[in-house]
Chains A and B, each alone.
Chain A
């Protein structure tokens, strides 16, 4: 549905050259909710704005719904943009227009009649729960209501794609949840492809199917959300997962840990399991079968898009061979094991 090929964006200012995007290649499939996560300044906004060409890439191509947007003329681009809705962190509603008039704006621009406009706008106000607010001005609305208006406005052209630039970043957690729920609903009801960017793992976790991690203008990791949680590879992804699961080793233990094993240490592991493997008692099995003592330091269990996932940090005591075998066994069952370090036996 969306395909970015080797997209670069360079900003030249009077005293510096910023490589905001350094060769991004990305594919988003029809119907996906694709999340892009990164720290502030990573290039997220630049990237999502390249998809509808609000930002023109310095190099590379942007193909949306089989159309290469970087090569078409202005008129064709305006036309193509009607197929790509967008919502923003600060809502960007017109203060001089009521809720109804804000949602109607894109249709007005196309020159539709009042009747046609009304018959499209009202169902959307209904869908976004704004029917009662139709004649209010944005000034009188809460943040969540404003974002709903923005969503209705973005959907009024019946686009195939919705771009969300930090759409929940200025909302409180409860409102964030309701907006994300709405996005998931419209993704299912309208079979809409959604690309969203955020700096919050919570957002990715609650609605995305695929995720890419953006760091300093590059995609450092990409895959299913579940896989990212179970087995983050890059340092930046590890940090995001750690922050989201609040799994942090106690400082006392971390101070004691060594990078290399010795005869008096035992390993500290991060074990993650998901889907089917979360249902079966593998840990109990290895404790018995390999004669291990397992000390659970921290554990985190949750459901991500209807799939169970668990992450544990454990100290494992037993013979070195048995520990090796146990790890191999667990990995063969689809669990992800990472050796975080080696802790000396506590006295």
Chain B
């Protein structure tokens, strides 16, 4: 049983953190874009903002389970298979991106306008404002958003297990539910709780570190 659990945990960690990585890499630029193209911002572009905003809202309103099934063909195209933990990363990432992008957008929008003006007054370009002002100043909020996203990914990855995604969710369903081994269910739940706690503690610790100077 221990062996099963460790294997499943490893798969879950792999899914969550790989998906988390891609989510961050794609979601952060998207969040920046959404924030700086808002009305009244320094790269205001209502048209672009509306398009991306609508797209993200649409993606966020699809239930994850539907999302996952609907994406199977795309997943096959990208990773060659529709099953297993590698395949699960595609829908996980695509579901988490809009979620994280909105959180990053909010964090960045909270950077006081005066800081942008101060940077503009010394000749900063839009790119420099983003890299030197917006992202560093919004970092605590962005990391908070990433923590929340990773926690969501843990939950989604367990759901992915139900349709052959592997990981702790899969273990609980197959060994625990179908084979009536309650101890598997209890053990996976305990591990999931611990995992979520760990992510939250780490996230809070990092945020605290960046906030200590403020």
Chain A interfacial positions (CB closer than 8 Å to B): 52, 54, 78-79, 81-82, 84-86, 88, 90, 92-98, 105-106, 108-110, 137, 139, 150, 153-154, 156-157, 163
The contact string, 1 if C-beta is below 8 Å from chain A, for chain B 112-127, is 1011011111111100
20 sampled A-B residue pairs with Cβ under 8 A: A54-B121, A79-B123, A82-B122, A82-B123, A86-B118, A88-B118, A90-B112, A93-B118, A94-B136, A94-B137, A95-B137, A96-B213, A96-B214, A106-B123, A109-B123, A139-B213, A153-B118, A156-B122, A157-B122, A157-B123
* A84–B132 touching, CB < 8 Å: no
> How far is B121's CA from A156's CA once the two chains are assembled, in angstroms?
12
Chain B hits for A154, CB < 8 A: 121-122
Q: With A81-B120, A109-B124 given, can you name 20 additional A-B contacts, CB distance below 8 Å?
A: A81-B121, A81-B123, A82-B122, A88-B117, A94-B136, A94-B137, A95-B137, A95-B213, A96-B213, A97-B136, A98-B213, A105-B119, A109-B119, A109-B122, A110-B123, A137-B214, A139-B213, A139-B214, A150-B118, A157-B122
B115: contacting residue among A94, A110, A137, A157, CB under 8 A: A94
B139 to chain A, nearest CB (A): 7
Q: Does B86 reach chain A (CB closer than 8 Å)?
A: no
The contact string, 1 if C-beta is below 8 Å from chain A, for chain B 133-146, is 10011010000000
> How far is B48's CA from A210's CA once the two chains are assembled, in angstroms?
47
Q: Does B182 reach chain A (CB closer than 8 Å)?
A: no
Chain B interfacial positions (CB closer than 8 Å to A): 112, 114-115, 117-125, 128, 132-133, 136-137, 139, 210, 213-214
* A78–B121 touching, CB < 8 Å: no
Residue of A nearest to B125 (CB): A78
Q: Do A92 and B123 contact each other (CB < 8 Å), given the known contacts A105-B132, A108-B132, A137-B214? A: no
* B120–A92 touching, CB < 8 Å: no
Q: Do A137 and B123 contact each other (CB < 8 Å), given the known contacts A54-B117, A108-B132? A: no
* B124–A78 touching, CB < 8 Å: yes
> How far is B136's CA from A93's CA once the two chains are assembled, in angstroms?
12
Q: Do A92 and B136 contact each other (CB < 8 Å), given the known contacts A78-B124, A85-B122, A137-B213? A: no
* A78–B123 touching, CB < 8 Å: yes
Residue of B nearest to A139 (CB): B214
B120: contacting residue among A54, A94, A95, A156, CB under 8 A: A54
> How far is B179's CA from A284's CA once the two chains are assembled, in angstroms?
114
B121: contacting residue among A85, A108, A137, A139, CB under 8 A: A85
Chain A hits for B139, CB < 8 A: 96
Chain A hits for B120, CB < 8 A: 54, 81
Residue of A nearest to B213 (CB): A137
